[in-house]
Amino acid sequence: MTNDTLKLGINLLAKPQPSGAWDVVDIQASGLLRIIGWTTANIQDISAPTVNVNGQLAPLINRFKTYRPDVQAHIAGASAFSGLVLEYLLPWSENPVNSIVITTAANDIIFAGSGEIQSQRPAYESLLTTDQVLHRENIYGVGPPMLTTAPVVLELTKNLPAPILDFGCGSGVLVKELREMGLEAYGIEIDRPMIHQYLLEAAQPYVTIYDGSFPLPFPDRAFASVVSTEVIEHVPDYEAAVAELARVAQSQAIFTVPNINAIPICYQHGVVPWHLLEATHFNFFTQKSLAKLLGKYFAEVEFAQVYPVMVNGTEFYTSLVAICQK
């Protein structure tokens, strides 16, 4: 029996089983727990251990082989696909996980960990367990507008001259928060059921709901500044949108878009950031292409990159920010 301190990531096992061994327990913040090992038997003949988490049984959701040439090289009768992985879904709770006990079918304890780790409810949890064939709209579809503002967006916008227009304001949360800071802020959003459902009451008097056509329903230079965060990638006629925002802005504009350079940077890891694949993205900008576009309408364009992410030691930024002056 072991009595290990729980930790996210790899927890060593090195426990024999009748046809092989269990090497590690891999506990993920996403809610997955993997028992990883190898076997010379048919994996369907392996009796899966029981995983008890905070007194609840974790369901076994997948078992599969993996490529293990290291096992084949050293174990008689092993194949290149002797690797074995069992995946369990941790019972989700807002409370930390403080006990995980893994027991064999013969009631031998192969792992007993205590301590405190915080898991999270898996995003798209049903994708781990569903037996349905899904389609693009089931995965990359449009979700509800955000009800919170990222700190970096507030930092970018709080010092803009007012009045400020938030183009594609969603729930109106940025309008609300800028007004709470004493800034005259307004929003504009396309008339659709989800916006009516999520538009914040405090922002409603200051948000224009319209049909999405151009020109915008505002006179020239109606606002000192305009903001467009993660919007113009969704607009088929993105140049018309930028031209209109330049028309209604007196002096400054801020645009953010997904950063497409994440694809070549992360290609070596086989990773594409989820947000780049969102179903209603029509336009994909590099820093140079966005600079070329905005340079037609603004005298100065300065760039920032925000939301850093690390994948296998490679850092990239998921969004471009263009800070524009007329």
Q: In one letter, which amino acid is 4?
A: D
Q: How far is the C-alpha of 214 from the C-alpha of 240, rounded, in Å? A: 7
Share of the chain above pLDDT 90, in %: 78
- The average pLDDT across 26-30 equals 89
Task: Evaluate whether 214 touches 192 at the Cβ level (below 8 Å).
Answer: no
Decide which of 97 and 239 is more confident.
239
Q: How far is the C-alpha of 202 from the C-alpha of 207, rounded, in Å? A: 10
Nearest Cα to Cα of residue 254 among 216, 204, 300? 300
- The average pLDDT across 190-195 equals 95
pTM: 0.80
Q: Position of tokens 């030691």?
A: 313
State residue 91's pLDDT score: 87
Start-end of H helices in the chain: 69-74, 136-140, 151-157, 173-180, 193-198, 238-248, 262-266, 287-294
State residue 3's pLDDT score: 61
Note the pLDDT tens digit of each residue in 119-158. 777 777 888 889 999 888 788 877 788 899 999 999 999 9
Q: Quick one: DSSP state of residue 45?
A: G
State residue 1's pLDDT score: 40
- The average pLDDT across 65-82 equals 94
Q: How far is the C-alpha of 143 from the C-alpha of 212, rounded, in Å? A: 19
Nearest Cα to Cα of residue 303 among 318, 315, 291, 293? 291
Nearest Cα to Cα of residue 288 among 245, 255, 239, 322? 322
DSSP characters for 207-270? Answer: EEEE-S-SS-SS-TT-EEEEEEES-GGG-TTHHHHHHHHHHHEEEEEEEEEE-TTHHHHHGGGT
Mean pLDDT of the chain: 93
The total number of residues shown for the chain amounts to: 326
Among 79-88, 159-168, 220-229, 268-277, which stretch is predicted with the lowest mean pLDDT? Answer: 268-277
Decide which of 289 and 6 is more confident.
289
Q: Quick one: DSSP state of residue 105?
A: T
Note the pLDDT tens digit of each residue in 243-296. 999 999 999 999 999 999 999 999 999 988 888 888 889 999 999 999 999 999
Domains of the chain, start order = 4-132 (no CATH), 151-325 (3.40.50.150)
Q: Is the pLDDT of residue 25 over 60?
A: yes
Nearest Cα to Cα of residue 228 among 238, 218, 213, 217? 238
- If pLDDT is split at 50, 70 and 90, which confidence band does 10 have? confident
